[in-house]
Structure 1
């Protein structure tokens, strides 16, 4: 059971280290410039005998060269970059459903400065230049997309990639752009019916296979365009799929410090308040013995666990649009997009609670040089067999209608839209447990991977020992419980927008733009809780819950888990299968035995729910520039956007009042030890007592100037871009809630001590995140298919929302009463800077068969200062959350008229996931790299076959709290797919 194979986690699948790969990347970036230079030279030499690379001379005939496929997408993306008014990178799908990645987030990871977050092995959200998803602006056809659960971050799994024509990642800013993106703006653009010249039909079918799940998952897409006439078109796009994902996870579930096991004279951590105390025995006179002695406490695993998290989803995305060209000047459209993810989530956990001093047998503890407890046996461990069963429904919708009016000198566009998100989680947690189990041995291998040995586990009875067996239902003899925690939340945004562009007769200004926008956003949530508990020996409804009752309930409700870490060579010995509670059956039987069939309708919403309204009104003016600076072309824009925000936060508030304790004569009691008055007690009839809902309103105004300038150093070849802007993003909904628990002190001693009235709650008066950003970039376009680019960016976040602290003297409810409130606050900010390097080309100038080659490489380096987060144990400043210092993409492809193959590798270095775990140490996600590939073959001009694979290097996701302290080791498997697409 304790045998450990000799594997190296870092190099288990890669034939080279990531450090080596990073060095290769830098070489590739450097040499790409030389390669592209030779490409450009060869093409310029060839231009003397060819008027255009789109035309080939054959005697008296001209033959047009049609660029399609991957090369067309790459060229189109470069065209969008050149035409953008600020620094932008784009992705273009050359055909329906032709994005090389399975969802929008995974496609976006190929762009410089984008870093992907994965959930259950699938790309879910992205950050731009290290700024997390909550602080990005995401738009679909210029309409804001909303997050779930009060988050502003958008889960891109909610949108099928088949709906998308192009993606624009706008890293700079213009006055015309809707505010809300500290990191940037992601614009998702879908297809329009009048982009098609004739009727169109595309049908595709695909089967996906995950080698952990071992099942085929179907997916289909239907796209149809009906041209009623040249001016009126209708488009319908429907994508449906059965999508299952899974994580097999070997966990310590964080680390804790509960005891000094190694008795080393060296401290494990240093508390700055007791740094001068070098001998543990001297802590007795320190004033706080426990805090002082904790400096010598070693790290031990909190809850070693085997966990399997399965997600089964039925996804459906639909988009319908009608577009009508009224006349030569006026066009209108009406569109509706609907996305639904109907999920069942099942988590199977076999876990051992070891998070306290009483649970670990100190005599068995072995501690390594980093003060990590790497081997121990339990003294009073608690084993839980816990399954969580969620029915989880998520729906987003977007309705939009608008018009565009054009003349030679005037363009007017208007847009009305309504966006919604709805989330309903029906969650049940079924657990059976055994307390006071001794002899469970937990050993850490390979830098912190737990190996659990139950062979000597037992219950210590009065004079005997009884073995504990995790496979035996009779061993779980302590408790069974069912926890029901349903929740619902919904968001809505209404938007009206008008933009006017005037084209003057000017040698300096190419356009003047003006506009106004109104948004009204709301969020509301509700959560509920109900629990049924049965403890062996407890009395319920007059009857004793016996061990026999207990075992009879458990029997029949245990099942064998799927093979643990199937298809992966786990580098330590581990349990292969384990018993898992079947939650639906256990809950059903427990309800029947207790007679408790409570549903959501029977429950009262828990305290802590809130609803919030955020309304924004914006006006902007912008001038586009096109002139010359000497002999060089200068283009760009300058403008300003003014935004007023009004918020109204409504939530649960409880105010209690402390008054004096009175003796039998009605006089305040005296504390005999201190001579002062005794502490207060809660009053039951004071008029200031309150329990109910309150609304707090706030407002703020932001002035956001911006400037973007591009100087053509070599016409159509070399451009120097400079841009600067002020940007803002509104706080997260959860941070501006008004929920509060408050205390008013009316007792005499508190008044003598000048004790302030206190609250703990949200902060509806939070200012938004505000930043000043600067970009400078040099773009070289050797030809229409190629780019070599370098960019430097800096972002000074002048208003940053920091973790909870005490805010003194706050008129929290706007009624004149002053409180000291523990809440999130606006900090001084953080400074982010970095560089982005990219190069891409297609080798069309080379002789066949090498003319089908192409590739791209990009690299991003980022760092942050003055983050304002510190390691609780060392005081050392922490890196910016969710920001990897290094990330890069390597892409290579080969394409002919009939077939293509594409290989892509994405890497990001370690990043901070949480500022403090249970041990006080920060939590990091380790560096990781993912290799994907896709092959396509045109069977006929109308029928295409494709096959692809993802995570071909079998990467795992690992989190840790320091050297030798792995918290989780997650395996999501490799995924393969084959499919057909038919077009007519």
Structure 2
């Protein structure tokens, strides 16, 4: 089965080229005239600190600290995290965005900020509504450290079967007196065609304490811009048994059913990106008495990305071709068709805000309590502006013959076409007419309110039991999603008569162009101009929006205990704990009732709704016990062996739990696809086993090897059932296009004869619903070496993670519905030099298929 699309970035050289200028000022106590102490920190010290965290932690924990975060060539926190063993990243337009840990993708990892769960929102329908955190929205400069918990802990919020990643930000009490720093970077991206080749990244932080260290204030701000361009050749889908194909070359020993896959489209895209990111943090700390410390913090981020994209493409609606031995149609062709010229305007705006209060009280020498409360919100597309504006134009009539060539293996595909029947050619403006417009997007507000009250008892009288930690926590997780979209075929005439700024471009970079076997030109115009023309013509149409809401309330209680003892003279440390969680889920969808379908266009059956919103509500609930047991033994002062067991969970994506039934695709003659969410989905749970040996042989130097295995249950997959869907009056929805009445199709909506009636054929819909289906085993090895070459200033890091499991995707099956995306091997090689006032680092990151 062929890969769904083939993408690459052209001429993209992204490097930090303007060095950061940092200045620090430290204040001593009043009246002091000399500097009493100088503390030197750097890459070596930060790596040593991270090593100490790993060594001293119960369970398997990896970390990075402030000096090692945000260093070139990192442009955000994700790119810093990928240096950790077992962590690899997904990139968006060549910039780190989401993380994968031990083969489990972004949706399986929980991200917390100072121990608090963080919300997420997205404006794109294609991304769905997930829980995965976007690290591209967070600059690295304001972060003081990151801890990656690869094994579960009873006192850590649940939600990640891959890992829990805790981002720690700076506090004024972390520093004595006054400190200030600033940095300026420049990022060069040579792919830019619309925008600036060099864009700035600016960050600053000021912190000070007052009143003999009883009150502290910290302010941190950053601003980053980036312009870039991406170009790609792809298809929107590979469809099984689509069109007509000669299958005689298929190897039946691998593909016994002779299933073949044909491309739905052939697309050549060029996208120009402009991204801005602002981060800010205000932290106030107050210690009125020695045994009480209160911290109030506010963290904000603003992310704005705008993309202008153009595409030249062809639809292989009735294709013919020949397959290779796997079943891939390698030379699809279509006769008497047309070329399509698309334009996209994307605008993604996300506003993240978090306010938190933490109070620590040492009640006695052995007993302390903590209260932590926060209210955090992620809001995409405030105001409901559509995230995507799309326009399509095409050649008039069916006068173009097209043939593609996918036989080049890993090389670029090719395409050829005959447009001789069009006077002036397929790309002449007078031969490009309007086709359709579309606006779509999500406004999402994801809010999380959490409160945790915990206590810690320390045994001051000796004995194996050292500490006991206990607590209760409440999490109110809520998502409100407003889904708006407009879609209609329109007749505006040709582009030349519309006054739209239209340009024929052929500068596709070094690989895409007239000599590459691809479309020779790109029809360059703005989708927003096309929408303006549609509105001026009176043909603008907006579908009835829908509102979906999911509320998830979790009450948790936990207890954990630390022990220190000896076994045959070897020091042993144990941590045992259990977390109990009770979760209730309510999903609500509000939308206008469906009256039926209207035969609107040769390629469109339009959904017709009434004006009365109604609500559908479904509920679900579950309880889980999440135990953990961690043990480590010091075989020598340098050699540590570790074993861990934990049970962790990940919850379903939010968009999988909306209860409403949505009519996704309805075209004359089919397909007829619909979808419905399932608030009753159970969480994915994993029983995790870890074994490791770690050798700490010198200051800042160590080597480790570890083995892990995860037994995962309740993976969520797609289920499909065929069923009739009923309108608001309880009647089955019918197809008015089978036996069209006079005057149909009618795109004006004024002909009632084009509306479905009880005499038309009843539609049987393919309704997709998510369900808990699969179990899997995932296992692997982790290797790491960190070495400091004495006092030379040189150091090196190497780590690698090898992941495998019984979840291999069957590329020859058209029925397979389960795959663990993100599972791949990864490795990092880092060399650095730091001495006197000079620092340098070279990092190589590798990730397998």
1:236 and 2:219 are equivalent in the alignment: yes
Q: Which residue of 2 aligns with 1:827?
A: 773
Residues 99 and 621 of structure 1: CA distance in aligned 2, closer, same or farther (over 3 Å):
farther
Residues 573 and 445 of structure 1: CA distance in aligned 2, closer, same or farther (over 3 Å):
farther
Residues 339 and 835 of structure 1: CA distance in aligned 2, closer, same or farther (over 3 Å):
same
Displacement of 1:557 after TM fit? 2.6
Is contact 1:563–1:576 with CA below 8 Å preserved after alignment?
Answer: no
Displacement of 1:643 after TM fit? 0.6
Q: Which residue of 2 aligns with 1:403?
A: 359
Q: 2:634 aligns with which of 712, 719, 724?
A: 712
Deviation per residue, 1:503-525 (Å, 9 max, x gap): 01232011011111111011011
Q: Which residue of 1 aligns with 2:715?
A: 800
Displacement of 1:802 after TM fit? 2.3
SS in 2 for 1:708: strand
Deviation per residue, 1:750-770 (Å, 9 max, x gap): xxxxxxxx9962221111111
Deviation per residue, 1:454-510 (Å, 9 max, x gap): 4x324xxxxxx3346343111224x33322224311110001011211001232011
Is contact 1:211–1:567 with CA below 8 Å preserved after alignment?
Answer: no
Deviation per residue, 1:194-232 (Å, 9 max, x gap): 111121221222221111016221221121113223221
Q: 1:699 aligns with which of 621, 641, 645?
A: 621
Deviation per residue, 1:854-886 (Å, 9 max, x gap): 11111111112157x6546377897632111x2
Q: Which residue of 1 aligns with 2:399?
A: 437
Residues 730 and 216 of structure 1: CA distance in aligned 2, closer, same or farther (over 3 Å):
same
Is contact 1:771–1:799 with CA below 8 Å preserved after alignment?
Answer: no
Q: 1:342 aligns with which of 301, 304, 324?
A: 304
Q: 2:524 aligns with which of 576, 580, 590?
A: 580
Q: Which residue of 2 aligns with 1:640?
A: 578
Displacement of 1:740 after TM fit? 3.3
Q: Which residue of 2 aligns with 1:154?
A: 133
Structure 1 unaligned spans of 5+:
1-8, 14-62, 276-294, 459-464, 536-544, 659-683, 685-689, 743-757, 809-819, 846-850, 911-984
Is contact 1:653–1:738 with CA below 8 Å preserved after alignment?
Answer: no
Displacement of 1:650 after TM fit? 0.8
Q: How does 1:192-207 map to 2 (within 5 A)?
A: 192-207=171-186
Q: Which residue of 1 aligns with 2:289?
A: 327
SS in 2 for 1:440: strand
Q: Which residue of 2 aligns with 1:223?
A: 205
Displacement of 1:586 after TM fit? 2.4
* Separation in 2, partners of 1:306, 1:900: 43
Residues 633 and 893 of structure 1: CA distance in aligned 2, closer, same or farther (over 3 Å):
same
Q: Which residue of 1 aligns with 2:15?
A: none
Displacement of 1:102 after TM fit? 1.2
Q: 1:427 aligns with which of 369, 377, 388?
A: 388
Residues 897 and 656 of structure 1: CA distance in aligned 2, closer, same or farther (over 3 Å):
closer
* Separation in 2, partners of 1:571, 1:902: 40
Displacement of 1:575 after TM fit? 5.2
Q: Which residue of 1 aligns with 2:80?
A: 107
SS in 2 for 1:765: coil
* Separation in 2, partners of 1:703, 1:532: 51
Q: How does 1:376-387 map to 2 (within 5 A)?
A: 377-387=333-343
Q: Which residue of 2 aligns with 1:855?
A: 796
Q: How does 1:44-59 map to 2 (within 5 A)?
A: none
Q: Identify which range, 514-523 or 644-653, moves more after superposition.
A: 644-653
1:317 and 2:279 are equivalent in the alignment: yes
Residues 557 and 470 of structure 1: CA distance in aligned 2, closer, same or farther (over 3 Å):
farther
Structure 2 unaligned spans of 5+:
1-6, 12-35, 123-128, 597-608, 664-672, 724-765
Residues 691 and 341 of structure 1: CA distance in aligned 2, closer, same or farther (over 3 Å):
closer
Alignment length, in residue pairs?
A: 734
Q: Which residue of 2 aligns with 1:789?
A: 704
Q: Which residue of 1 aligns with 2:503?
A: 559
1:883 and 2:826 are equivalent in the alignment: no
Displacement of 1:317 after TM fit? 0.6
Deviation per residue, 1:559-591 (Å, 9 max, x gap): 345831359999945457522222222222332
Q: Which residue of 2 aligns with 1:906?
A: 845
SS in 2 for 1:162: coil
* Separation in 2, partners of 1:349, 1:164: 39
Q: 1:180 aligns with which of 147, 156, 159?
A: 159
Is contact 2:534–2:540 with CA below 8 Å preserved after alignment?
Answer: no
Q: Which residue of 2 aligns with 1:506?
A: 462
Deviation per residue, 1:280-304 (Å, 9 max, x gap): xxxxxxxxxxxxxxx3x75443311
Is contact 1:241–1:316 with CA below 8 Å preserved after alignment?
Answer: yes
Q: Identify which range, 572-581 or 895-904, moves more after superposition.
A: 572-581
Q: Which residue of 2 aligns with 1:4?
A: none
Displacement of 1:73 after TM fit? 1.4
1:489 and 2:452 are equivalent in the alignment: no
Q: Which residue of 2 aligns with 1:727?
A: 648
* Separation in 1, partners of 2:551, 2:430: 53
Displacement of 1:371 after TM fit? 5.0
Q: Which residue of 1 aligns with 2:834?
A: 895
SS in 2 for 1:105: helix
* Separation in 2, partners of 1:121, 1:612: 33
- Greater RCO (Cα-Cα under 8 Å, separation 6 or more): 1
Residues 341 and 842 of structure 1: CA distance in aligned 2, closer, same or farther (over 3 Å):
same
* Separation in 2, partners of 1:732, 1:507: 46
Compare the two structures and name the one with the higher helix fraction: 1
1:618 and 2:556 are equivalent in the alignment: yes
Residues 199 and 507 of structure 1: CA distance in aligned 2, closer, same or farther (over 3 Å):
same
Q: Which residue of 2 aligns with 1:130?
A: 103
Deviation per residue, 1:715-734 (Å, 9 max, x gap): 2x110111101112222212
* Separation in 1, partners of 2:720, 2:828: 40
**Superposition TM-score, scaled by structure 2 size:** 0.80
Residues 533 and 597 of structure 1: CA distance in aligned 2, closer, same or farther (over 3 Å):
closer
Displacement of 1:263 after TM fit? 6.1
Q: CA RMSD in A?
A: 3.4
Q: Which residue of 2 aligns with 1:414?
A: 371
Is contact 1:728–1:768 with CA below 8 Å preserved after alignment?
Answer: yes
Q: How does 1:742-757 map to 2 (within 5 A)?
A: none
Is contact 2:694–2:705 with CA below 8 Å preserved after alignment?
Answer: yes
Larger radius of gyration: 1
Q: Which residue of 2 aligns with 1:74?
A: 47
Is contact 1:653–1:740 with CA below 8 Å preserved after alignment?
Answer: no
* Separation in 1, partners of 2:815, 2:326: 18
SS in 1 for 2:227: strand
Q: Which residue of 1 aligns with 2:744?
A: none
SS in 1 for 2:273: strand
Q: Which residue of 2 aligns with 1:56?
A: none
1:449 and 2:412 are equivalent in the alignment: yes
Residues 216 and 761 of structure 1: CA distance in aligned 2, closer, same or farther (over 3 Å):
same
Displacement of 1:373 after TM fit? 4.2
Q: 1:528 aligns with which of 436, 459, 484?
A: 484
Displacement of 1:414 after TM fit? 1.1
SS in 2 for 1:436: coil
Displacement of 1:238 after TM fit? 0.5
**Superposition TM-score, scaled by structure 1 size:** 0.70
Is contact 1:638–1:706 with CA below 8 Å preserved after alignment?
Answer: yes
SS in 2 for 1:728: strand
Displacement of 1:266 after TM fit? 5.1
Displacement of 1:372 after TM fit? 4.2
Residues 64 and 570 of structure 1: CA distance in aligned 2, closer, same or farther (over 3 Å):
farther
Is contact 2:311–2:523 with CA below 8 Å preserved after alignment?
Answer: no
SS in 2 for 1:591: helix
Is contact 1:518–1:618 with CA below 8 Å preserved after alignment?
Answer: yes
* Separation in 2, partners of 1:824, 1:254: 21
Q: Which residue of 2 aligns with 1:780?
A: 695
